Structure 1
Amino acid sequence: MSDALINGLAGAGGGIIAQLITYPLQTVNTRQQTERDPKKHKSNLGTLEQMCQVVKHEGWERLYGGLMPSLVGTAASQGVYYYFYQIFRNKAEVAALEQKTIGIGDGSVGMLSSLLVAALSGCVNVLLTNPIWVVVTRMQTHRKVSKRTLPGHGLSAATEETILSAVEPPPYGTSNVIQEVYGEAGVWGFWKGVLPTLIMVSNPSIQFMLYESMLTRLKKRRALNTKGSDGVTALEIFLLGALAKLGATIVTYPLLVVKARLQAKQVITGDKRHHYKGTWDAIIKMIRYEGFYGFYKGMSTKIVQSVLAAAVLFMVKEELVKGARFLLAKDATNTAKSKRL
């Protein structure tokens, strides 16, 4: 099994675990980002309070709306990203060693090369998985009408059922979303928000650049202090992943909001604020109708969700890679022994 495949599978596994842990936060954050009405101040509510509001009015299941396609998207996204990241990283390492042989550099991959590797991996990932995230965003922002929100009290069961059948939309599953997106814009509808998403590759690029830089420095310091051992603990990986994601999220958050606005269902009404024709149209309308505050809606929730998810992902991924390499090495040793016998 190649090192790239090991990293790809480990990344997919780590991403799934991180997604399961932080998904309710992601749902609330997506709703905060896509709230277009400046008169509404839902994003000013505490994250936990908003989660309670969703549970109260729509039920627990709405916190996990779109979970299945999201897990598929996460596994695909992380798998594709780590697979191509390792391939591009290996090429960068070979190039760095070749440069060293002619007297340029010390043979290690520099910060700029790390940034380029992460950016290329991110672009491949975005182009292949964007349709999945369009579906996930639609399902996360879908709001369910419940009996608690019906007007009046003391209605008969038959009357309540009649009202619900009139106001509550039909089941909103993955197939429904796919049909809806295709009906609105055809095949290209599944690549809505791809421009800001491609620009958003700077987020994991910055994240991995910071992570690799901090990890390299930590290993060098550890090797000096412990006589050649550069081992890093799972907790240290967790903290490095959290710090790297925090820095990347703060820098790129406005692009994330624009992407979510474009991928959410467009409300085609007389209110121009609710419909975006494209990336620049969304940016101009957000500035005009909401001010620069609109680009930072839900940022505190996103920081908590993304930092926790990234920290868990890095920790689990590194442990899975170590485990896989250990098992492969053990298997190779046993095979060699059996051949000698």
Structure 2
Amino acid sequence: MSSAVFTYESLVHAVSGAMGSVTAMTVFFPLDTARLRLQVDEHRKAKSTPAILAEIVKEEGLQALYRGWFPVICSLCCSNFVYFYCFHSLKANWLKGKQSTTSSDLIIGIAAGVVNVLVTTPLWVVNTRLKLQGSNFRNEDIRPTNYSGILDAFMQIIRGEGVGALWNGTFPSLLLVLNPAIQFMIYEGLKRQLRRGVPRELSSVEAFMIGAVAKMVATVVTYPLQTIQSILRFGQFNESMDKSRLLSSLRTIKCLLVNRVRKYGILGLFKGLEAKLLQTVLTAALMFLLYEKIASCTFRIMGLNKIHYKKR
């Protein structure tokens, strides 16, 4: 077990995935800013993504598009390192050199996602707060916050809301492990189809396109829960007071979903989807392209390229 989990191959996948995701997110970060504003600020009208970006720049300056970049990049780097490492180490341990299947990719992806959520949720709670701090909200009920940085945000949240607040949105996040699981299932499946049993490196266009398709499907399927996740991480909502933590989480999610549908209709659950699709699809496509190239280059240097492709 330990020899399959702790390997250089899993480490290479983890580092390649983390580097690819950080680079891709930096390039498309303003699109994520637009998406988050639309999800959290209920009174902001869902205009086109360029219009939202122009509005933010006009009201808050160009730097507002990259507000919270550092904590997001830190969280993303840690999150993708954990996910890629868990996914490939679990895959190596489960398959033991055999060809993977669609069902095995989905199950392994869900398991890796659960580990990732439990480990990195506090980082995502903090970066959501920092990214929205100082924003001009249309909703006057939103309370302003004053965090000086990542550590200060951690301390203020713990002092003011308790340690449990760092795991706000954990339940919908656990449900959302389906997002990367579906993404990796589709990505790995399309990759197998393109190779058709021949161990070879994907071209840049192939990696970009199947990464985009995989993320687009996963995002559309899980977007309503992503919206609820953002609201819960922001922390400004009336939480259910049930004694059961699980029951409380379920009722809070149901309440937020129902209220949003009542106010804005079914389409309200998909508010900000255009910005999210632009950001997440382009980011994922570029991430997978960079991930494949970095991993391939590293394995080639290590002399493990042929063995690596045969395993996949």
Moved more, 211-220 or 133-142: 133-142
Look up the SS of the partner of 2:23 in the other structure.
helix
TM-score (norm 2): 0.84
Query: Percent same amino acid at aligned positions?
Result: 29
The separation in 2 between residues aligned to 1:198 and 1:124, in whole angstroms, is 9
Asked whether 1:262 is paired with 2:232, we answer yes
Note if contact 2:130-2:147 (Cα within 8 Å) is conserved in structure 1.
no
Q: CA deviation at 1:326?
A: 1.4
Residue equivalent to 1:32: 38
Residue equivalent to 1:234: 204
* Matched ranges for 1:9-48 at <5 A: 9-37=15-43, 40-41=44-45, 43=46, 45-48=47-50
Moved more, 307-316 or 57-66: 57-66
Moved more, 239-248 or 175-184: 175-184
Q: Which has the larger radius of gyration?
A: 1
Q: CA deviation at 1:212?
A: 0.6
Q: CA deviation at 1:179?
A: 3.6
The separation in 1 between residues aligned to 2:80 and 2:296, in whole angstroms, is 17
CA 280–138 in structure 1, closer or farther in 2 if over 3 Å, else same: same
Note if contact 1:115-1:206 (Cα within 8 Å) is conserved in structure 2.
yes
Residue equivalent to 1:248: 218
Runs of 4+ in 1 over 4 A off after TM superposition: 168-172
* CA distances 1:235-280 after superposition (whole Å, capped 9, x unpaired): 2101110011111111111110010011114167xxxxxxx98323
Note if contact 1:193-1:279 (Cα within 8 Å) is conserved in structure 2.
no
Q: Which amino acid aligns with 2:175?
A: I
Residue equivalent to 1:182: 158
Q: Which amino acid aligns with 1:30?
A: L
The separation in 2 between residues aligned to 1:136 and 1:218, in whole angstroms, is 37
The separation in 2 between residues aligned to 1:175 and 1:22, in whole angstroms, is 26
Q: CA deviation at 1:182?
A: 2.1
Moved more, 303-312 or 51-60: 51-60
Q: Which amino acid aligns with 1:34?
A: V
Unaligned runs of 5+ in 1: 98-106, 146-167, 224-228, 269-275, 331-341
Q: CA deviation at 1:143?
A: 3.2
Residue equivalent to 1:130: 121
Residue equivalent to 1:62: 64
CA 247–144 in structure 1, closer or farther in 2 if over 3 Å, else same: closer
* Matched ranges for 1:192-207 at <5 A: 192-207=168-183
The separation in 2 between residues aligned to 1:58 and 1:323, in whole angstroms, is 42
Note if contact 2:202-2:292 (Cα within 8 Å) is conserved in structure 1.
no
| Matched residues, number | 281
Note if contact 1:262-1:278 (Cα within 8 Å) is conserved in structure 2.
no
Which of 79, 90, 97 matches 1:88? 90
Asked whether 1:4 is paired with 2:10, we answer yes
Q: CA deviation at 1:144?
A: 4.2
Note if contact 2:179-2:219 (Cα within 8 Å) is conserved in structure 1.
yes
The separation in 1 between residues aligned to 2:150 and 2:200, in whole angstroms, is 46
Residue equivalent to 2:252: 278
Q: CA deviation at 1:211?
A: 0.6
Q: Which amino acid aligns with 2:254?
A: W
* CA distances 1:23-64 after superposition (whole Å, capped 9, x unpaired): 111011001011223xx42x1x11111111111111122111
Q: Which amino acid aligns with 1:133?
A: W
CA RMSD of aligned residues (A): 2.3
Asked whether 1:111 is paired with 2:111, we answer no
* CA distances 1:45-101 after superposition (whole Å, capped 9, x unpaired): 11111111111111122111111111111110111111111111112222xx6xxxx
